[in-house]
Structures are given as structure tokens and as C-alpha cells.
């Protein structure tokens, strides 16, 4: 059974679902627990590690306020999975053409589409985008032509740990798994309101454990503007994944036998904020690298390229605020991973996966992450495994 440790060094406890936590992440969590806006306790998932703005793997309920830096700048980042009618034995021996087809269909890194890939999918967001721009006029200075960028980045992957994978489950069923968020527009919305929160705290002379914990208060215009903008960005992130999934499926149809998408489709955020009821109060729950898995709700927990990922079903654990980890969690920072691993590690750790094999992915190797099997064991009271997925093809951002 998982062991949940409770740390009491602040105004509320910190409940941790792991026995491994780095000192820098521990200090972040203690600082957060000293905030008088935090409700009941902070829940910490087993993939916990130090993060910019807030600890990755933390679930933070707040009363009458939201901390923009805790939500972060990759607003609405999350996962999507579609199970296909294909069987693994139907795939060609070489999957290089599959990877090439995906890479041709989906821009990665800083790249974007030359033409809007699915204008109809974006139509519901256009009116809201005008309101976002009115509430955050600085976005015009932060981004060159933000409206055009927003449209052309829909259905694109981004960089870092974002990925698109062709996978198979324990029964040999093939599927598509992808990880992305709200791209440049979400990043700039996040940065804009983080700065506003800091200015407001300074104006109020509010003493905080650190500047990343600056918050926006209910009843203020900036709070209302942020709530609208962050909800818009989360919707954009979801639609980005939907458009991208469509592009990937169209690409696969050119190089694989005919297939259909089954009913097993999951699309979930793991960097976001929502308003929920917990321990007798209505609160804002920020999941920074965590997913919501209420009882019976499906979620996705990716491992790392070369290991395994999981489709899970929530058990509805109240102490975790109905949450679980969003992945394996980093063992090494990106800089440390680049020093730790080299070409031999790339070849060994990505064996059997059709992917890039250059030094550009060294900070995303399985060795840079925690043991996903241990992470899953530490949260067996939060979720049950529905499907175990293994990578066949991996396209990294």
C-alpha cells in the first residue's frame, strides 16, 4: 500500500504520496503551505519535482484567490489518447515512414502551420479571443500578431517534453498518444498575469514567502480577467490536441492499413485550475503537473520515451483532491541530463522505438525520469490501471 507522509511546517499540512522528494521541491511546498489562502492541505503526487512557479506534481486548493505562477505558462497542457481498430501485427516492419508522415503533418518546436489547419475547430474561440486581448492588451506587445499566431499554432506540438506517439496496449491494440498545451498564446497569457499579480502584491505590501506566490483576489478586475483568459487558454489547449489528433490520424491513414477510431478517447489537462468542492468549501484547485481523476473518471499517465504509459481510472481519493500524477517526474534537470547521458545511452534507452536518436533528445531519455513502475505503485490508492501502453513511434517537440 502507498505510504502518505504528512508534513506540518506551515498553516496547512502537506500530504506527500512518495518517499522521494528533492530539497528544492520540499522548500517550495513548505513556502506554499504558509499561505493563508490555501485550503485544508496541499496534496503532492509521486512524480513531484522542483518546478518554475510551483512544485510539479502539486495540487493546491485556494480560497477566494488564484496564484497565476502556480498554474504556470503552459496553461492547459495535457494528454490525449485515441485507440484505433488496428492490431500491432498489422503494422509494417519498419515504422520510419510512419514517423515521417507524422512529422510532415505536425509542426514541432517553434514551428507553426503555414495555413490554419481547421478553422471550424477554432471558431468557438474567436469571440473569446477578442475579450482576452481587451483584458490583456500587453499581449500585443509580447507577441507579433497574436491572433495569427494563435490560429497557425493550433494543431502544432511545441517543444520540451511534448510528444506524439504511436503505441500499443497489453492486448496488442494500436493507439495514438499525444502531449501538448496552449502554445505561445497560453505562455504569454500566463506571463502577463503573473506580472500583474506581483505588482498588485507589491502595491498592497503583501509579505509572501517568495514572489512566485503572488495571487489575484476575487472581487478585482484582474482576477476576473485572469479567470476568463485562463479558461479560454485551457479550451484552446484542448482544441489544439483535438486538431493535432485529427492531423495525426489523417497522416497515419496514408501509410497504414484502413482503421477506425474506437470509443476509447481521452483528453485531459494536467496544468490548469478549476473551481471545485472539497472538504466543505468551494475552492480553486490548481493542478501543477497532476490530473483530476474522480471516481470512475479516465486519465492518462505517460512514462517516458522507451518505457510505458498508462490509461487509468480514478478511485476518487478525497485526500488527493481526486488527483493523481501526470507522469513519471524528472530525476535530473535538463541541464544535468545533458551532462549525464550521451549517444550510447540514447541508443540503449530508446531501443525498439522509432524516434530521433540525436543529442537533441538526451534530456528526455527514460534515465532522466523517475521509475514509472514505482510511481504507479505509490499511487495505487488513487487510480487503477485500465491499459498499459508501449511506444512504437515517438515524435518529440
Residue found by looking up cell 502554445 in the block: 183
Catalytically active residues, by annotation: 326
**CA-based nearest residue to 301, from 257, 345, 340, 268:** 268
Cβ–Cβ < 8 Å for 134, 358: no
Residues 6+ apart with CB under 8 A from 323: 43, 45, 59, 287, 290, 291, 292, 293, 317, 382
Cβ–Cβ < 8 Å for 391, 169: no
Cβ–Cβ < 8 Å for 283, 323: no
**CA-based nearest residue to 291, from 268, 273, 266:** 268
Cβ–Cβ < 8 Å for 78, 197: no
Strand partners of residue 95: none
What is the number of residues in the chain?
397
Amino acid at each position: 500500500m502507498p505510504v502518505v507522509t504528512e508534513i506540518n511546517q506551515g498553516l496547512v499540512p502537506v500530504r506527500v504520496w512518495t518517499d522521494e522528494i528533492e530539497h528544492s521541491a520540499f522548500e517550495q511546498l513548505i513556502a506554499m503551505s504558509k499561505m493563508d489562502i490555501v485550503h485544508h492541505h496541499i496534496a503532492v503526487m509521486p512524480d513531484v519535482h522542483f518546478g518554475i512557479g510551483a512544485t510539479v506534481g502539486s495540487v493546491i486548493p485556494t480560497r477566494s484567490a488564484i496564484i497565476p505562477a502556480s498554474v504556470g505558462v503552459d496553461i492547459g497542457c495535457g494528454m490525449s489518447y485515441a485507440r484505433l481498430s488496428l492490431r500491432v501485427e498489422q503494422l509494417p516492419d519498419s515504422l520510419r515512414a510512419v514517423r515521417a508522415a507524422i512529422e510532415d503533418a505536425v509542426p514541432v518546436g517553434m514551428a507553426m502551420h503555414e495555413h490554419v489547419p481547421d478553422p471550424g475547430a477554432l471558431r468557438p474561440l474567436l469571440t473569446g479571443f477578442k475579450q482576452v486581448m481587451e483584458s490583456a492588451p500587453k499581449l500585443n506587445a509580447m507577441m507579433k500578431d497574436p491572433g495569427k499566431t494563435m490560429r497557425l499554432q493550433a494543431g502544432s506540438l511545441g517543444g520540451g517534453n511534448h510528444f506524439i506517439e504511436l503505441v500499443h496496449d497489453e492486448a496488442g491494440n494500436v493507439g495514438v498518444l499525444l502531449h501538448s498545451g496552449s502554445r505561445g498564446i497560453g505562455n504569454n497569457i500566463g506571463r502577463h498575469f503573473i506580472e500583474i499579480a506581483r505588482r498588485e502584491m507589491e502595491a498592497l505590501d503583501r509579505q509572501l514567502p517568495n514572489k512566485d506566490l503572488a495571487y489575484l483576489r476575487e472581487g478585482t478586475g484582474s482576477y476576473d480577467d485572469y479567470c476568463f483568459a485562463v479558461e479560454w487558454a485551457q479550451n484552446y489547449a484542448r482544441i489544439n490536441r483535438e486538431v493535432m489528433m485529427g492531423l495525426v490520424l489523417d497522416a497515419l491513414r496514408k501509410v497504414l492499413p484502413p482503421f477506425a477510431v474506437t470509443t476509447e478517447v481521452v483528453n485531459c489537462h494536467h496544468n490548469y485550475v478549476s473551481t471545485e468542492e472539497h472538504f466543505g468549501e468551494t475552492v480553486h484547485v490548481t493542478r501543477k503537473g497532476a490530473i483530476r481523476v474522480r471516481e470512475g473518471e479516465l486519465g492518462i499517465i505517460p512514462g517516458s520515451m522507451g518505457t510505458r504509459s498508462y490509461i487509468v481510472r480514478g478511485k476518487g481519493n478525497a485526500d488527493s483532491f481526486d488527483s493523481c500524477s501526470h507522469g513519471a517526474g524528472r530525476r535530473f534537470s535538463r541541464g544535468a541530463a545533458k551532462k549525464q547521458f550521451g549517444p550510447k545511452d540514447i541508443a540503449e534507452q530508446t531501443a525498439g522505438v522509432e524516434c530521433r536518436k540525436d543529442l537533441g533528445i538526451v534530456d528526455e531519455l527514460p534515465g532522466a525520469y523517475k521509475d514509472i513502475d514505482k510511481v504507479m505503485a505509490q499511487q495505487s490508492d488513487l487510480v487503477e490501471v485500465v491499459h498499459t501502453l508501449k511506444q512504437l513511434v515517438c515524435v518529440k517537440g
